[in-house]
Structure 1
């Protein structure tokens, strides 16, 4: 019997004519690992929430959902709460208590489980997930990766039969994300737990999935094994945006039009290249590499930090310790690093939201304290925060945009033209009349970016700008940022998305031990890393050491040619 069965499921939000989920039918067998992917706003999150009765949104529902042969609405409360687990995208939204141990016990306490059993199950789960080392900590002291692992553990202690996850790695660094996915694989493999996962980062999840569902505008476009999904997307939907989101081995294979079996994993991709293509003749610096200038003149800098120290309270440890940073005018500078390392704090200090207790900050050659009466934020600096919801104040995206236009003193016609231009660039025209909180995570991210662009800043600070958005939207964002760079706008971004940073950056750096270290061009930076590097580089570095994108690998394969048979 199927553990989850959907029959002709449709859902429409109040006041909307277009269905968010449109005639979706599928079956999930016990023990399967199923991945759902698709463009931002295609209905993935809505579908997941419909499968968790307590989170089902308000609106018009048609069709049926069955859990173990019983209609979802007819399940008793205990079964619905315990057997169908749900992990949200933002770990902050799911943590409800102040202590780690209490978070683990909270659900069991609400179910009336006896205290000895609660202690046993909590202890077992804390040991399994490695939480025992921070078992007594305050939840507010945890990093994003620790909070997401705690959320997973607090659901697993309820002993669910199916685990539903909505982009659980979107806010995790590459190492933490890989660890989290490996944990899910272990739960699926060793416990037989059924897993339904929505994810944009497909490199790690495609190889371990039994089935993949591709959604498109509310409909279920394809539902099959990962390899069949890759080939059918290419054959039946040649220009579909999801082709850009496939794992790097599959994308490289498809662009080369090879006749060999399609690789799915990094190891299979390495073998595919070794069997079919000639190795680079000699090791040399790539033509795209530019020499790094270690010292720039003050007038060349948009952002200049010198020996910056910061802590949130006097008694707490330093978050920033002696940070030096020099960002040139008109460049895109990316900062990568682990969760909780201080990257977001650094942006808050640069933007003036927090004040360093030691060191100096200059924005376009002027000390930050010399900007008076909001001058810093008028066509000089804009910050897109990690949580896009925080930038919205009105009941629709359009009203928010109009309000910022009034604050900036734009004329009516100028504002309308700017809104239309930015909405067209970001392809968010349909989002303008909607309430910001009704949007998906990816849609919120794009709408918030649009509001920042309305400020027309000379320097744009971006905190995880690709969080929650699909591969096609990332490509659109790259084009927008590239055009801004051509216009002379400086962009400083903090990101966990190494693929995006490799494609868009002029320089990259790593934030570690409370400071910015190892500034370099993308090719040198990523080709010399093992974990903070791209899937394309891991796949091809044994043949093409300086290839860091799929396009690099494809170009070099064509340049050096196929092996003679």
Structure 2
């Protein structure tokens, strides 16, 4: 039964049109249908129109602009839905849980929507109790919402929406701020809701490792158009055949990326870690099990200049609260990239705030470039030495356009007008955001805001860079560009200390990785040692390959080892060589896949 129908939907933001000097649609001729009980994953580059599409489906959140086309819900035009139907039957979970939490207590948050709908008190109590039990909220039912971790807040938002008993649940990148374990738990909860309750789910995500394989269909968007709308296995295969260089290929699950990287089109297309393991075992030898790496020279490391040294750091937010940091010690060398991983609420962001001087520890000492942090006077520390990217990129912006915000750096760095303009253009070109310079920062998508915020930080030309979740909301192609940028900065002697939940990004860019747990950094080692010895804080590529190869961490490393080992002999006794090229053109069955507006 058809639940949702979108027909020839086109939408243009008014500010976007003025900046471009012409109509520049955020969505263009988008058409699709969603059946009752389907699980749909919408993916694409940052700024491709995913969030715009979802907000247009929720009437109360629809942005202002020029819109054409029609939207039907349960056979009724969207504009003819009653206020109660629109509010209750279409649930929406925002990307940032802070923006959706409106009350001070967990129990009140669960009841808030029902109270506004005038639901009788006995019914409210029953539904709230049911949701608290189903989502495992009963242990923190009486807590303040301010005391919850990021994962708990996002789960509370989902439970609050589910208490309204919606027919359609829309989620905009709900796991972007969650650690790998919390993200996995959240996705498993969505799968349970979809299977057990038959709830229709429409979800946008950049982290596709877990949601892509479980979807009934995947919608791949490209520059405001719907490029593909197919089951995940077909979508993963067809995207390569439609465009072998498409940027979204980098965002596909690791099993698919390895499959495409090896051009093994004659084998069955894998989706999950289990599929990937079976694919490797069935098709590739493992005579060569390890990649040769240059061993770490401990003596040479000890002689390197130190960018930041902290010892015995203790910090708490209030005198009567427990320590967030307890005896933390960390040493970061000049010209290296260090990533800190860990669960939500562990204290990683607090660690960065203490290093940057925003919060002061009550015990311990911190040295930056050999000088105690207290010895820096005025703005000395923040002029050409240290810069910090906060977790929420919106806090970086103060002006009406990105360009105006960038010009504020001139006051700090004493650039001439001409030099400032040159640096703005160079930075925007480097990050691929030249077209965003005249846009209001709050009109940008989450990923675009993140890239624009990184650009402002880079204009300060720091020698020591602190990054808090730099890949949040960013598509896979932009992550690859950021990865190359950080490596270039490292080559210039710039030091980077990064807090991230993105294990794939950390594995690809870091010199050392550490795990923050129990108020301190419990381990700090090379990516190979760190990820190959973890089960959860590791990459999907490592999970796929660890039974076949010993030290492959990234998809590129798995592909390299497969190529060195070669294909296994086929059933007829012949060894099949790998097919060159990306395999564009028609599919095996002569079809091109379902494309809209392509």
Quickly name the TM-score band, shorter chain normalised: over 0.9
CA distance in 1, matches of 2:118, 2:48: 39
Distance 1:115 1:289, change over 3 A: farther
- Is structure 2 residue 268 aligned with structure 1 residue 261? yes
Q: Which residue of 1 aligns with 2:3?
A: 3
Match of 2:364 in 1: 359
Are the aligned partners of 1:280 and 1:543 in contact in 2 as well (CA < 8 Å)?
Answer: no
Superposition pairs of residues 138-537 of structure 1, within 5 angstroms = 138-258=144-264, 259-281=266-288, 286-288=291-293, 290-291=295-296, 293=298, 300-537=305-542
Q: CA deviation at 1:406?
A: 2.4
Deviation at 1:290, TM superposition (A): 3.3
Partners of 1:170 and 1:289 lie apart in 2 by 34
The answer as to whether partners of 2:28 and 2:224 remain within 8 angstroms in 1 is: yes
Whether 2:30 is the aligned partner of 1:27: answer: no
Secondary structure (helix, strand or coil) at the match of 2:477 reads helix
CA distance in 2, matches of 1:501, 1:299: 22
- How far apart are the structure 1 equivalents of 2:11 and 2:415? 39
CA distance in 2, matches of 1:371, 1:233: 53
Q: Shift in Å at residue 295 of structure 1?
A: 9.6
Alignment root-mean-square deviation, CA:
1.2
Residue 254 of structure 1 deviates from its aligned partner by 1.0
What are the Cα deviations for residues 313-356 of structure 1, in whole angstroms up to 9, with x where unaligned? 10111000000000000000000000000000000000000000
SS at match of 1:3: strand
**d(CA) in 1 for partners of 2:39 and 2:520?**
39
Normalised to the residue count of structure 2, the TM-score between the two structures is 0.93
1:289 and 1:521 in contact (8 A); partners too = no
The whole-number CA distance in structure 2 between the counterparts of 1:72 and 1:547 is: 50
Deviations 1:80-136 (A, max 9, x none): 000000000001000000000000000000011111111110001000000000000
Pairing 1:102-141 to 2, within 5 Å after superposition = 102-141=108-147
**Alpha-carbon distance in structure 1 between the residues aligned to 2:315 and 2:489:** 31
- Contact kept, 8 Å, 2:383 with 2:412, in 1: the verdict is no
Structure 1 residue 207: Cα displacement: 1.0
* Alpha carbons 2:288, 2:561 under 8 Å: kept: no
Instruction: Indicate the larger mover: 122-131 or 256-265.
Output: 256-265
Q: Aligned partners of 1:217 and 1:132: how far apart in 2?
A: 43
Alignment of 1:548 onto 2:584: no
Deviates more, 1:273-282 or 1:40-49: 273-282
CA displacement 1:389-421 (0-9 Å, x = unmatched): 000000100000011222321111111111111
Give 1:255 shift: 1.2
Q: Distance in 1 between matches of 2:462 and 2:557?
A: 32
Contact 2:304/2:333 (8 A) holds in 1:
no
Counterpart CA distance in 2 for 1:557 and 1:165 is 37
Which residue of 2 is the match for residue 96 of structure 1? 102
Question: Is the 1:244–1:251 Cα contact (8 Å) retained in structure 2?
Answer: yes
Q: How many residues align?
A: 563
Q: 2:2 aligns to what SS in structure 1? A: coil
Runs of 5+ in structure 1 lacking a partner?
none
Q: Quick one: distance in 2 between partners of 1:19 and 1:154?
A: 33
Q: Which moved more, 1:554-563 or 1:295-304?
A: 295-304
SS, match of residue 37 in structure 2? coil
Give me the whole-angstrom Cα distance separating, in 2, the residues matched to 1:289 and 1:446: 33
Using the TM superposition, give the Cα deviation of residue 145 of structure 1 relative to its aligned residue in structure 2, in angstroms: 0.3
TM-score by structure 1 length?
A: 0.98
TM-aligned CA distance change 1:292 to 1:145, over 3 Å: farther
